[in-house]
Amino acid sequence: MSLSKLVGALKGASAYRLRLMDLPEVREKLWGDHFWSPSYCAVSGDSAALEVVKRYIEEQRAELRKKGEKRRKAASTSP
């Protein structure tokens, strides 16, 4: 199985199960309208420091928040 298919299966199954639980603390942490970021990162333990991985995740989160804000603004200004 390819890494991308494995990650997609894990994201899909976990998102489905968590959405069924309908937990408020989970809803607050969604990436815009999505449960997971559309991207993923795979690194070996020796090739990237933990801080690099943390920075990558935060940058992805910030990018999705900006996109969500743009969509909300566009929707609120539409007639």
Whether 56 is a known active-site residue: answer yes
Give CA–CA dist 28/77, Å, rounded: 24
- Set 56, 60, 61, 68: catalytic member: 56
Give CA–CA dist 17/8, Å, rounded: 14
Give CA–CA dist 32/1, Å, rounded: 29
Positions annotated as catalytic residues are: 56
